[in-house]
Structure 1
Amino acid sequence: MRLLPLTLIVALSGCAVGPEYQRPQLPLPEHFDATPGTELHLGTLPWRQFFLDPQLQQLIDKALQDNLSLEQARSRLVAAREQTTVTDAALYPEFSLGLNAERDSESGLTNSDPEISDTFNLDGMMSWEIDLWGANRRRSEASYAQRLSSEQQLNLSTLSLISDVASRYYEWLDIEQRYRISEETARLRLEEVKLAKLRKQNGMISGLEVRQAEVEYQSARTTLPELDFDRHQKQNQLKRLLGSYELQTQYQLPQGLSALGVPQALEIGVPSDLLSQRPDVAIAEQQLIAANASLGVAEAALLPNFTISGKYGFESNTLSDVLDSEGVTWSLVGGLTQPLFNAGKLNAQKRIAAETLKQAQLAYRDTVLTAYTEVSDALAGVRRAQTAMEAQQELVNASQEYVRLARLRYKNGVATSLDLMDAQRQLFSAQLALSQLQRDQLLAHISLYRALGGGLSG
């Protein structure tokens, strides 16, 4: 019979009030709108296999090592792991050791022979809140979910950083490419100015046509200062991502964005893959798990609370005898507390926890829906960028042929300088637009890669 209370306590401590977590069933479609290919699964493809430019890989490596925001996320993860230890400590008894000394003097007004006495105590103490209803286990569950959420937050920060570095790099290359196009166009138009002046000297054209050639030359030159500013701005954005005041390496930039590339045959998987691949979806689910566990904590607060505390030690009038077996003292105390009246506070806390759980459920559903639509939008962006770039490339090819024929007719005196200038102007605009569309195609692939949660392994 003496074991019955202990057996009952152990049995009760094996249960935990509150709902057990189950992942919400979501009506996800079976497939995305389209799949570019079937060879590589984009959502699990390591970033080194997606970003193939060695210089871009160097930049990403540097950013992963030195980015300041990423370092903050790592620090938050360390703190979250330690917080799990703090929370889990409530599941176990606490033990402490105390040594106390006291000197006491009696009053001379109430004692004819006042004495001074010394008391020394050496005590080992134990206290334990029996987790009858699983409140501490629910707290541990919530804390662990927050830890996993911090891990996924680090993953999200890593994915964002990789994508941002690649995006700024491609934008920088686009600016450099347009700068080279503008320089080359200005150089060619300067030759046209020299030719126009020579033809005027020979009486073949008027001064008006010379001025027109000069206008076209200066128009090409005016693009250079703005592009130079944009170039420095993109470099500074990269420096910030790299956590550095300077780009420590002189990068040999490729001659064109067309020289870069990403894997062309890609498999995007099915929508349900987003639940395991996207860090933001994982974060939303861990927040949901934590909210679910917190509801159990709120429900347990309405039930009786049972604590055990004990003390075992020695007491003596002299320090030298403090460990004498005759001075042994001990106590064992058990307490049961049942909330009776708290002006509705505990019930309100339970209702708050229930609403918080409802909000977390809605946030999880919204995050998954957002993830799905982002992938769908990214797929549409890839298709649009590819189609637009192919059409623009055809326009550049046609414009180049137009310039060639116009120059030939101009030299033979069949066409006017206006015809040649119009052809050159159209080619210049088409080349600048093609560079931007090449950049947009690369950025669209990054958006798809990011939307699928890829890039977390090197």
Structure 2
Amino acid sequence: MSWSILNIRERGGSLVRRACLALLLALSGGCTVSAISPQTQEQQLPPNWVQDTAAEPAPAASGWLRQLDSPALDRLVEEAQASNYQLAQQRARVQELRQGVIAAGADRLPALSAAVDGGRQMSLAESGSEVYRESWGASLDLSWELDIWGRLGDQQRSARLRYDSGMAALRQQQLALAAAVATGWFDAIASRNLLALLQRRLDNVSDDLDVLEHGYRRGLNEALDVYLSRNTVADSRASLARQRQLLQQSIADLQLLMARYPDGRELTLDEALPALETATPAGTPAQLLQRRPDIQQAWLDLLAADAGLAAAHKARFPRFTLAGRAGSSSSALHDLVDAGLSSWSLTAGLAQPLFDAGRLKSEQEQARARVLQAEQAYLDTVYSALAEVESRLSAEQTLRQRHEALLESRANADIAYELSFQQYQRGLVSYTTVLEAQRRAFDAQTSTIEAHNEVLANRIALYLALGGDFARPAPATT
């Protein structure tokens, strides 16, 4: 009978050990968890851009700022990179995330703290006299959670990925700022060119008015022609005043990017709009995933959320902790150091959540939902970037064609205006014909300046859409 009881006990112990082993295997098998779909990790992209007219795709080049050939713009971009407020804010954000990595890594290491306490107590002796006693103590406390399942490691990895994401966001802001400064610089130059054009137009129509008024006083011209010319002069003055305001606003916007006082003044616009002779290489769609910082940021955010899911999953596993304490005590403070260790303890603990009303499971499902959100945000960023490049490549062709057509239109309109005024002086055409030719010439000149600026703005937007760096890397030094 005793043998059978012992046998049952041995068999029961074996079953318990097997159950514990099975539990440990199940838990260790559940340590790896990810909610990122394989389709997201392996994007199926076309080999080339649809709108790219290059015979063979060439890698997108870096250092696009030099291609704009504007020394003044180089200096403005450098100033903006050093002074822009929003960029400084993102740099501070990166420093915050870096400290978060350090804090997350600290949780994986033992924590050691020292404490000193003292007290004084008064009691009455049998004789009625007061007796004072002092007690002093010092201790060292050690606590350490063993990261058996890797939960703390996942939290540190998530923090590291968020830091990397912050760095990618900083890089994206630097690129966007350089593009904004370049676009604002050429906008200001175009506004100055339009202002000069309007001033010349006002001078021309004023000269025409003088000629008409002189002929009217001599009885050669009709009063209607004089009033029509005066109306044109007044309209030109109004357009000139409006353009001055637009130029001031363009300069103020540019000054704000460089953290200057936005007064709309003190900016020398002594350069012409550059000509873009060659098209820029666009690379391939697959290369875009590595070049664009915003895509890298979205991917890192997704990985960080996935690491957070793994940590939330492992928070439901048992936690192993070690705790130690060593200390000494003395009745006098000056004897505390010499007292030596009078006590020490070392304990190990295992804690497994049994009932929390579904809190840990809910936190895991929240983390899973955050992964799904980050995954969709990543996909949206990728395909928005692809659409942006295709759109800019298409506009590169159409804007160039439009600019070339407007150059031809301007030349014809200028000749037509000169001929119409000469024929009007000979009495061959009415002044309405002159006004129409004058309007077409002015519109063609205005459209040419605006189209040239649109070509530049689209090229800068294409540079930004393709990613990469706006400045060439410094040569390596030995």
Name the CA distance, whole Å, in 1 between partners of 2:30 and 2:324.
26
Q: What amino acid sits opposite 2:110 in the alignment?
A: P
SS at match of 2:107: helix
Q: Where does residue 390 of structure 1 map in the other structure? A: 404
Q: Where does residue 5 of structure 1 map in the other structure? A: none
Q: Could you say if the C-alpha distance between residues 58 and 39 of structure 1 is closer, same or farther in structure 2, counting changes exceeding 3 Å? A: farther
Map of 1:100-179 to 2, 5 A cutoff?
100-106=117-123, 116-179=132-195
Q: Could you say if the C-alpha distance between residues 103 and 405 of structure 1 is closer, same or farther in structure 2, counting changes exceeding 3 Å? A: same
Assess if the C-alpha contact under 8 Å between 2:47 and 2:284 holds in 1.
yes
Map of 1:180-199 to 2, 5 A cutoff?
180-199=196-215
Q: Where does residue 440 of structure 1 map in the other structure? A: 454
Q: Could you say if the C-alpha distance between residues 457 and 132 of structure 1 is closer, same or farther in structure 2, counting changes exceeding 3 Å? A: farther
Q: How many aligned residue pairs are there?
A: 445
Q: Does 1:46 align with 2:63?
A: yes
TM-score normalised by structure 2 residue count:
0.86
Map of 1:57-68 to 2, 5 A cutoff?
57-68=74-85
Q: Where does residue 429 of structure 2 map in the other structure? A: 415
Q: Where does residue 50 of structure 2 map in the other structure? A: 33
Q: Could you say if the C-alpha distance between residues 15 and 72 of structure 1 is closer, same or farther in structure 2, counting changes exceeding 3 Å? A: farther
Assess if the C-alpha contact under 8 Å between 2:138 and 2:336 holds in 1.
yes
SS at match of 1:52: coil
Q: Deviations over 1:354-391 (max 9, x none)?
A: 12112211111111011101111111222221121111
Name which of structure 1's ranges 412-421 and 349-358 shifts more when overlaid on structure 2: 412-421
Q: Could you say if the C-alpha distance between residues 89 and 56 of structure 1 is closer, same or farther in structure 2, counting changes exceeding 3 Å? A: same
Q: Deviations over 1:112-165 (max 9, x none)?
A: 998543332222221111001101100000000110111111112111211111
Map of 1:256-267 to 2, 5 A cutoff?
256-257=272-273, 260-262=274-276, 264-267=278-281
Q: Deviations over 1:312-365 (max 9, x none)?
A: 232223334323466432110111101000011111111111121122111111
| Deviation for aligned residue 1:429 | 1.2
Q: Could you say if the C-alpha distance between residues 200 and 79 of structure 1 is closer, same or farther in structure 2, counting changes exceeding 3 Å? A: same
Assess if the C-alpha contact under 8 Å between 2:389 and 2:466 holds in 1.
yes
Map of 1:208-223 to 2, 5 A cutoff?
208-223=224-239
Q: What amino acid sits opposite 1:407 in the alignment?
A: F
Name the CA distance, whole Å, in 2 between partners of 1:129 and 1:248.
62
Q: Where does residue 303 of structure 2 map in the other structure? A: 289
Assess if the C-alpha contact under 8 Å between 2:80 and 2:257 holds in 1.
yes
Assess if the C-alpha contact under 8 Å between 2:108 and 2:153 holds in 1.
yes
- Name structure 2 gaps, 5 residues minimum: 1-20, 473-478
Assess if the C-alpha contact under 8 Å between 2:321 and 2:349 holds in 1.
yes
Q: Where does residue 303 of structure 1 map in the other structure? A: 317
Q: Name which of 70, 82, 106 aligns with 2:87.
A: 70
| Deviation for aligned residue 1:262 | 4.4
Q: Name which of 222, 229, 237 aligns with 2:245.
A: 229
Q: Could you say if the C-alpha distance between residues 327 and 90 of structure 1 is closer, same or farther in structure 2, counting changes exceeding 3 Å? A: closer
Name the CA distance, whole Å, in 1 between partners of 2:291 and 2:429.
61
- Name structure 1 gaps, 5 residues minimum: 1-7
Bigger RCO of structures 1 and 2 (CA < 8 A, at least 6 apart): 1
Q: Could you say if the C-alpha distance between residues 338 and 115 of structure 1 is closer, same or farther in structure 2, counting changes exceeding 3 Å? A: farther
Q: Could you say if the C-alpha distance between residues 151 and 188 of structure 1 is closer, same or farther in structure 2, counting changes exceeding 3 Å? A: same
| Deviation for aligned residue 1:412 | 3.5
Assess if the C-alpha contact under 8 Å between 2:116 and 2:137 holds in 1.
yes
| Deviation for aligned residue 1:419 | 2.3
Q: Deviations over 1:294-326 (max 9, x none)?
A: 111111111100110112232223334323466
Q: Name which of 344, 352, 362 aligns with 1:330.
A: 344
Q: Where does residue 370 of structure 1 map in the other structure? A: 384
Q: Deviations over 1:259-291 (max 9, x none)?
A: x13462311111112211112111111111111
Q: Where does residue 6 of structure 2 map in the other structure? A: none
Q: What amino acid sits opposite 2:83 in the alignment?
A: D
Name which of structure 1's ranges 214-223 and 148-157 shifts more when overlaid on structure 2: 214-223
Q: What amino acid sits opposite 1:102 in the alignment?
A: G
Q: Could you say if the C-alpha distance between residues 314 and 112 of structure 1 is closer, same or farther in structure 2, counting changes exceeding 3 Å? A: same
Name the CA distance, whole Å, in 2 between partners of 1:41 and 1:224.
45
| Deviation for aligned residue 1:99 | 2.1
Assess if the C-alpha contact under 8 Å between 1:138 and 1:296 holds in 2.
yes
Name the CA distance, whole Å, in 2 between partners of 1:62 and 1:248.
17
Q: Where does residue 79 of structure 1 map in the other structure? A: 96
